[in-house]
């Protein structure tokens, strides 16, 4: 390493420390340390020698910066304007290691194959952006924002301007310009292949920038530069990429050009240029304030950096003027639309319209378009109010619509017509012949030349063969018929049963009979004179009375009396049986 040096106190040394001769000092120290480098590679270990040499250069540079920080400087010369050692409140300090990290992340010192990787990622982001615009999908467009690598050379150009590396900054601007041309060309080709019809809303929303887009770009550029310098907030970089949105405007330019909408393409290109200029201006200021530029270098290059920054600022102002005018025009149009809408709604009153009235300001005219099923009211109040408010001529376009009732036509197929005819034949067949009670058609289906009939009635089912013949005669075709017949029967109720009072009045007791030989006969005749009681009919599970034989109640021979069951009301029940026939 370097030996101890005497500390000169001449003004020349002070100027060297201040930055004028500092590079010469470092160059001399580097020449004293570095061994001579051969002009041609004569040994196989040139790479190792070069790496060793670079390591020694870095060590010497760190040692010089350390000594400059530890060595107290002489009092400044009041006459020397280049001496700027006083620390300002707006300039922060950044460690050399952090500065080298930022330079590496921004790609100011290009690595091998950087251009290929950048081109691949830029092409992929353009593809995703155009597909998202064509599908009118905001989520896909946001994905294209995150994939785009265009933010790196833009921030690198701002860092080079802050460091007064103007040749490097021009190189970064050239990369951005080439990426812009390639992105527009690729988006044009993709739009010709995949975009059809009207332009999607995602494209139209990027063709009319205003002053708000400029403010967003300034904020995003400042945030991107700060997140790059400060590693602890580097997680905010994806949000910065989404906020600034460089790639979607490029895709919108290509899509609009392919659709022949040159005005919309110029609007999207204006949005893209606004984002670029605002990011470069805001990022260059943040790189200076955060200490990315060393203090001594800033003191020597401040004038040149300020001059270039002023040029970028002038570009931003030139872009801001039309954006501000567009914003003011949009605000004025919105206010005029609201005022005109209020007047038109008041004029219409209770008139029902099929849609909201359309109001357009075309030069010196106000065009009001109304569609309704009713006749227009007197337009004189509307014309006077609009002319008094805006001082423009009024053109009213009233479109009266007529309500028409369109008759509904039901298309009857041949199968439906055949099904109707067969059902009519089945109804006629079911009610033909002699039968008691009624016959009812419960279910009728017809499909694939198969007629299925579910019917019910009292007595036997009608002949299925008659139905088959009837269908064959009427329709002149043979069909298969399946009949499910539910047979119903009328069941008579039991004879009314006597009450207990009637029982005691009619039957004789055992004490009145004489013990003669004819007593049994008299008891039998008395018993036969009475109506035969019947036992209680058991109930079936379905709730109907079952048609079963009646059994007489038991009589008590000991007392020569019998107990009659309780009287039941007469009722009629049905016993149903089911039978299936098919022919």
Higher confidence at residue 435 or residue 570? Answer: 435
The string of pLDDT tens digits covering residues 505-524 is 544 444 444 444 444 433 33
Q: CB 364: neighbour CB atoms within 10 A?
A: 8
Maximum average pLDDT range among 342-346, 527-531, 563-567, 577-581 = 342-346
Confidence of residue 413 (pLDDT cuts 50, 70, 90): confident
What's the token pair of residue 155?
A: 């921030």
Check pLDDT > 80 for residue 82. Answer: no
Check pLDDT > 60 for residue 315. Answer: yes
pLDDT at 474: 85
CA-to-CA separations, 279 to 216, 265, 486, in angstroms, rounded: 10, 21, 90
Confidence of residue 335 (pLDDT cuts 50, 70, 90): confident
Q: Say how many residues make up the chain.
A: 583
Check pLDDT > 50 for residue 157. Answer: yes
CA dihedral 438, 443, 445, 449 (to 10 degrees): -50
pLDDT at 486: 86
Confidence of residue 502 (pLDDT cuts 50, 70, 90): low
Report the pLDDT averaged over residues 269-274: 92
Cα–Cα dist 473/467, whole Å? 10
pLDDT at 331: 84
Q: CB 100: neighbour CB atoms within 10 A?
A: 12
DSSP string for 234-258: GGGHHHHHHHH--HHHHHHHHHHHH
pLDDT at 270: 92
pLDDT at 40: 47
CA-to-CA separations, 93 to 27, 49, 292, in angstroms, rounded: 24, 34, 8
pLDDT at 34: 47
Cα–Cα dist 351/377, whole Å? 8
Domain 414-491, architecture per CATH: 2-Layer Sandwich (3.30)
> Tokens 């008579």 label which residue?
492
Task: Tell me if 326 sits within 8 A of 209, measured CB to CB.
Answer: yes
Pairing of strands 450-458, 480-488: parallel
> What sign results for the dihedral spanned by CA atoms 276, 281, 282, 285?
positive
pLDDT at 568: 41
Cα–Cα dist 233/92, whole Å? 16
The string of pLDDT tens digits covering residues 520-567 is 433 333 333 344 444 444 443 333 333 333 333 444 333 333 444 444
Q: Smallest Cα–Cα separation from 343: which of 400, 389, 393? A: 389
Cα–Cα dist 98/83, whole Å? 26
pLDDT at 140: 92
Higher confidence at residue 525 or residue 451? Answer: 451
Confidence of residue 355 (pLDDT cuts 50, 70, 90): confident
What's the token pair of residue 553?
A: 């109640």
Locate the domains of the chain by residue range.
Answer: 10-27+53-67, 96-330, 349-400, 414-491
pLDDT at 182: 94
Higher confidence at residue 218 or residue 407? Answer: 218
Confidence of residue 121 (pLDDT cuts 50, 70, 90): very high
Cα–Cα dist 478/468, whole Å? 7
Residues whose CB is less than 8 angstroms from the CB of residue 380 and which lie 6 or more positions away in sequence, other chains included = none
Confidence of residue 571 (pLDDT cuts 50, 70, 90): very low
Taking the model in full, what pTM does it have? 0.53
SS3 for 201?
Answer: helix
Report the pLDDT averaged over residues 46-65: 76
Q: Smallest Cα–Cα separation from 370: which of 402, 399, 349? A: 399
Check pLDDT > 90 for residue 176. Answer: yes
C-alpha angle with apex 510: 504 to 516, nearest 5 degrees?
A: 135
Residues whose CB is less than 8 angstroms from the CB of residue 92 and which lie 6 or more positions away in sequence, other chains included = 289, 290, 291
pLDDT at 111: 73
Check pLDDT > 80 for residue 209. Answer: yes
Q: Smallest Cα–Cα separation from 173: which of 155, 185, 186? A: 155
Summary mean pLDDT of the chain: 75
CA-to-CA separations, 336 to 139, 327, 390, in angstroms, rounded: 34, 14, 8
Higher confidence at residue 242 or residue 41? Answer: 242
pLDDT at 268: 92
Task: Tell me if 141 sits within 8 A of 130, measured CB to CB.
Answer: no
Maximum average pLDDT range among 55-64, 92-101, 449-458 = 449-458
Task: Tell me if 453 sits within 8 A of 583, measured CB to CB.
Answer: no
Residues whose CB is less than 8 angstroms from the CB of residue 107 and which lie 6 or more positions away in sequence, other chains included = 114, 152, 153, 156
Give, as one character, the DSSP assignment of residue 530.
S
Q: Buried (b) or exposed (e) across 540-570, using 16+ Cβ within 10 A?
A: eeeeebeeeeeeeeeeeeeebebebeeeeee
Check pLDDT > 50 for residue 404. Answer: yes
C-alpha angle with apex 107: 117 to 223, nearest 5 degrees?
A: 105
pLDDT at 402: 76
C-alpha angle with apex 488: 484 to 494, nearest 5 degrees?
A: 160
Helix H or strand E segment including 271? helix 262-289
């Amino acid at each position: 390493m370097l030996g101890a040096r005497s500390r000169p106190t001449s003004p020349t040394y002070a100027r060297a420390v201040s930055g004028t001769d500092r590079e010469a000092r470092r160059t001399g120290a580097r020449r004293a340390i570095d061994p001579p480098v051969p002009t041609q590679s004569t040994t196989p270990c040139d790479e190792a020698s070069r790496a060793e040499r670079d390591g020694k250069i870095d060590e010497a540079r760190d040692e010089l910066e350390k000594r400059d920080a530890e060595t107290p400087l002489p009092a400044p010369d009041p006459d020397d304007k280049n001496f700027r050692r006083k620390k300002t409140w707006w300039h922060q300090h950044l460690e050399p290691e952090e500065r080298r990290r930022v330079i590496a992340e921004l790609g100011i010192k290009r690595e091998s194959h950087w251009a290929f990787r950048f081109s691949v990622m830029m092409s992929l982001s353009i593809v995703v952006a155009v597909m998202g615009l064509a599908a009118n999908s905001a989520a896909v467009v946001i994905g294209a924002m995150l994939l785009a690598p265009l933010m790196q050379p833009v921030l690198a150009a701002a860092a080079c301007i802050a460091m007064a590396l103007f040749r490097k900054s021009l190189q970064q601007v050239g990369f951005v310009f080439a990426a812009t041309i390639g992105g527009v060309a690729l988006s044009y080709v993709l739009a010709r292949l995949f975009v059809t019809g009207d332009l999607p809303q995602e494209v139209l929303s990027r063709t009319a920038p205003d002053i708000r887009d400029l403010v967003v770009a300034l904020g995003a550029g400042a945030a991107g530069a700060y997140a790059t310098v400060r590693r602890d907030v580097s997680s905010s970089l994806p949000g910065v990429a989404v906020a600034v949105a460089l790639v979607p405007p490029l895709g919108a330019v290509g899509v609009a050009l392919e659709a022949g909408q040159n005005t919309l393409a110029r609007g999207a290109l204006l949005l893209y240029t606004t984002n670029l200029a605002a990011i470069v201006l805001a990022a260059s200021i943040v790189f200076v304030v955060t200490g990315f530029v060393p203090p001594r270098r800033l003191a020597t290059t401040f004038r040149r950096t300020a001059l270039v920054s002023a040029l970028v600022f002038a570009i931003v102002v030139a872009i801001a003027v039309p954006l501000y005018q567009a914003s003011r025009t949009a605000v004025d149009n919105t206010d005029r639309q609201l005022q005109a809408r209020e007047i038109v709604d008041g004029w219409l009153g209770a008139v029902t319209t099929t849609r909201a009235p359309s109001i357009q300001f075309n030069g010196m005219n106000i065009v009001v378009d109304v569609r309704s099923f009713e006749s227009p009211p007197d337009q004189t109040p509307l014309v006077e109010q609009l002319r008094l408010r805006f001082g423009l001529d009024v053109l009213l376009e009233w479109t009266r619509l007529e309500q028409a009732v369109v008759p509904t036509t039901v298309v009857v197929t041949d199968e439906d017509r055949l099904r109707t005819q067969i059902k009519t034949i089945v109804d006629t067949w079911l009610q033909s012949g002699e039968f008691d009670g009624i016959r009812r058609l419960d279910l009728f289906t017809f499909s694939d030349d198969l007629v299925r009939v579910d019917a019910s009635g009292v007595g036997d089912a009608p002949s299925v063969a008659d139905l088959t013949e009837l269908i064959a005669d009427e329709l002149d075709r043979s069909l298969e018929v399946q009949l499910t017949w539910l047979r119903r029967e009328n069941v008579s109720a039991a004879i009314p049963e006597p009450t207990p009072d009637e029982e005691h009045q009619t039957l004789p007791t055992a004490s009145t009979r004489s013990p003669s030989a004819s007593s049994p006969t008299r008891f039998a005749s008395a018993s036969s004179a009475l109506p035969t009681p019947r036992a209680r009919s058991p109930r079936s599970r379905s709730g109907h009375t079952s048609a079963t034989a009646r059994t007489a109640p038991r009589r008590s021979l000991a007392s020569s009396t019998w107990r009659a069951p309780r009287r039941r009301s007469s009722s009629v029940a049905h016993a149903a049986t089911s039978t299936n026939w098919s022919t």
